[in-house]
A = this chain, B = another copy of it.
Amino acid sequence: MEKEITIYDIAKQLNISPATVSRALNDHPAINNTTKSLIASTAREMGYRINPFASSLRKKRTNTLGVIVPRLNSYFMSTVLAGMEKEANEASYNLIISQSMESFKKEITNARTMFDSRVDGLLVSLAFDTEDLEHFEPFLKRNIPLLFFDRVMSHNQATSIIIDNVRAGYEVTSHLISQGSQRIMHITGSLKRNVYADRLKGYQQALSEAGIAYDDSLVKVTDLGMDTGQWVVQQIQEMPLPPDGLFVANDFCAVSCMSALKRAGYAVPQDVAVAGFNNDPLSQVVEPNLTTIHYPGYEMGEIAVKSLISHLNGVSTSHATNTIILRSELIVRESSLRLSSK
C-alpha cells in the first residue's frame, strides 16, 4: 500500500514552500518557469496526484458536470455522451451520468442526487412525461448553469441545444409526398416533448403545403416501444382507407413498424413507404434500408459541454440564455423510394 504524495512532500524534497508548489502545479503566472518545470518533473517522479477533494473544498467547485438522459441504450445518446466526454476531458471535467428511464419521478431523484453531488453544471435531456422544471430550481438558485439538449423545455435561465425538428419533420413528410404518398400516418411519442411536438408541426406544414387535408386519426401517440409496430398495423387494418406512408419518430420504432407491416402482407415501400428518425446504424442494417434524418449527436454533445464550461468560466453571472440550433439532414434510402428505380 503506497503512501499518497502531497504538495508538502514535494515542497520538502525541493526545500521550497508548499505554496510555491501549489502555484507551479496550477501554472500560476508569477512563478519562475525553471522552478515550474523542476516542480513538475519531481511531482511526476514522486508519483504525485492532486487530491481533488482538498482542491474542491478549497475552491468551492468540483470540476464535475452532471448529465441526466432518458436512456443510454440508443446509438444517438451514446454518441452525444461520447462528444460530451471528449470535451469534458479536454477541460478536465468529470461527468456523472444517470438515466431517468423516461420517468419524471426518477428524473427528480436524479436531479436531487446531482445537486447533492454539487456538480458545477447540469446537462439534461427530458423524460417522456416531465411536466415542469421545478426540480431544477435549486440549481438556478445556486447559480449552477443548466443546459437542455435534444429534449428541451424553454426556460429563461437555461440554454437549449436542439435541431430544427419542425424543419426535419417537414422534410421527411415532403419527401414521402414527393414519392407519391398521400395518406401519411405519423407515429410519435409524448407531445409534451418538443422533439415530437415539433416534428408533428413539420408534418402538418408539409401536408398543408401539398394541399393534403390534415387527418387527426392518422397521428398516433405511442411509447415508441417494441410493441408499437404491431399495434400500428392493427390500427391500419381497421381503417377503411389504409395509409400509404408512415413517418415514425425514431428508427427503432420505424423498424418495428416495417417488420409488422411486412408480416401483415404489406410491401415496403410499394404499399407503404416508411421513414424514421435519427440515422441509427440500425437503419442501414434492415431490409429495406430505412429513410431517416441524420442527427448530429456527437457535435451536440461537444457543443453542450463547451457551452456549459464557457458559461462557468464566463465573465458575468448574466444568464445569457440562448438556443443553439444544429443542422440535421434527410437521408433517403429504399424504404421510401417508390418512384425512382430500385
Interface residues of A (CB under 8 A from B): 1-2, 49-54, 56-57, 62, 71-75, 77-79, 81-82, 85, 89, 94-99, 101, 109, 113, 115-118, 141-143, 225-226, 229, 252, 255-256, 258-259, 262-263, 281-282, 284-287
Contact = CB atoms under 8 A, between A and B. Distances in A.
Nearest to A62: B53
B285 A229 contact: yes
B53 A78 contact: no
A281 B72 contact: no
Contacts of A263: 287
Given A57-B54, A74-B73, A77-B72, A286 B49 contact: no
Nearest to A81: B72
Please name the 5 residue pairs, one residue from A and one from B, whose CB atoms are nearest each other, closest first: A73-B78, A72-B78, A53-B56, A256-B285, A259-B287
A77 B82 contact: no
Nearest to A255: B285
Nearest to A113: B89
Nearest to A75: B73
B95 A78 contact: no
Given A77-B73, A285-B226, A53 B49 contact: no
Contacts of A117: 52, 94
A262 B287 contact: yes
A192 to B, nearest CB: 23
Contact of A285 (B2, B52, B109, B259): B259
Nearest to A54: B57
Scoring A62, A96, A98 by chain B CB atoms within 10 A of each residue's CB, the highest score goes to: A98
Contacts of A94: 96, 113, 117
Contacts of A259: 285-287
A144 to B, nearest CB: 10
Contacts of A258: 287
A286 B96 contact: no
Nearest to A289: B259
A142 B1 contact: yes
Contacts of A281: 225-226, 252
A61 to B, nearest CB: 10
A224 to B, nearest CB: 11
Contacts of A252: 281-282, 285
A116 B49 contact: yes
A50 B116 CA distance: 7
B226 A284 contact: yes
A122 B223 CA distance: 35
B99 A81 contact: yes
Contacts of A286: 255, 259, 286
Given A2-B142, A282-B282, 14 more contacts: A2-B141, A51-B57, A52-B116, A53-B62, A57-B57, A72-B78, A72-B81, A85-B99, A89-B113, A94-B113, A95-B98, A229-B285, A252-B285, A286-B286
Contacts of A96: 94-96
